[in-house]
A and B are shown apart, each in its own frame.
Chain A
């Protein structure tokens, strides 16, 4: 592709990398990534993808910006309290890079609407704050064969896993069923150190960019766990579960359902 003068300058530090070059930058500009959630994880993911020139970023969230979000959800601002998070994020990310088109989806993902939304995207980054959505997104990505980079944070810790349907484990292979409702507090209910989703979301964005470029070793079959207090990274090898209800040899989950 022909880059504009501005693009040559904007992406020069990418183009310099042998693993990226003009060809890789063109792939980034042509990529379509969906972010589930415009919160603590979605904020840095969207920022870095926008900075990288990922051409189309869909963002799915039906919440509005609240004061208590701003300790970690850096896509939003004090002035935008009360705005839809997807609109606030669009302003932030398109402001960073006008090459990027941010498509706001101010809805809650459900079994009924998820296919229609995700079908426009190649890669999905899940930064949702609840288990029903997490499993719904995993199952939809497996069925639609979309690359999924799933991440979660809790207190001082976070985890990231990349799912390549048909080539490695899915989220359900690793965590077969959601914990029973009420057993595990959601991030809406418990504390989280503000920088934790920043670090974990940045790792998640890294995996998305690697997937677009086709470089390096993806976090496929490897669950990455980062702990802020210990300042430790742990990588746990996770196999595909042949009895997985959604991606196993004989799946029992063949349709999508709300958790």
Chain B
């Protein structure tokens, strides 16, 4: 069971850029680690393709996209900047959103599935 994002992204991320843990992340196909109960599918309500973008703009754009969505909706974020695969879901969790899964496609492309559970905008 992947309790830890380090398991998702091994080579491309230098040790210093890894974040310790991201609880509750479930992992789908294409990943190094599989999780039982994988049959659950995350249906994305919106997709944000920010390949080619680097941190922190990746998180800025993800956050702006989430702000525009309704509670309970799922955003799929496509990134190819390896640190973003770890730091974007971690930062979104920090803001109260729920990371449903991180799917790795190929060498350096990740699909992050995040459910909006908290409204930041007042």
Enumerate chain A interface residues (CB-CB to B < 8 A). Answer: 3, 8-9, 12, 15-16, 18, 21-24, 214
Contacts and interface: CB of A to CB of B under 8 A. Distances in A.
B36 interface: no
Classify the interface of chain B: helix, strand, loop or mixed: helix
B120 interface: yes
Interface of B: 56-57, 59-61, 63-64, 67-68, 94-95, 120-122
Contact of A16 (B63, B67, B121, B122): B63
Nearest to B64: A22
A8 B57 contact: yes
A40 B59 CA distance: 37
A8 B64 contact: yes
B93 to A, nearest CB: 12
B95 A18 contact: yes
Contact of A9 (B57, B59, B68, B120): B57
A234 B68 CA distance: 42
A8 B122 contact: no
Contacts of B67: 21-23
A23 B56 CA distance: 18
A214 B121 CA distance: 12
Contacts of A18: 94-95, 120
Classify the interface of chain A: helix, strand, loop or mixed: helix
B120 A21 contact: yes
A250 B59 CA distance: 53
A21 B121 CA distance: 7
Given A12-B57, A16-B60, A22-B64, 13 more contacts: A3-B64, A8-B57, A12-B56, A15-B60, A18-B94, A18-B120, A21-B63, A21-B120, A22-B68, A23-B120, A24-B121, A24-B122, A214-B122
Contacts of A24: 121-122
Contacts of A9: 57
B121 to A, nearest CB: 3
23 contacts: A8-B57, A8-B61, A8-B64, A9-B57, A12-B57, A12-B60, A15-B60, A15-B63, A16-B56, A16-B59, A16-B60, A16-B63, A18-B94, A18-B120, A21-B67, A21-B121, A22-B63, A22-B67, A23-B67, A23-B120, A23-B121, A24-B121, A24-B122
A8 B48 CA distance: 15
Contacts of B60: 8, 12, 15-16
Contacts of A21: 63, 67, 120-121
A23 B61 contact: no
B28 to A, nearest CB: 28
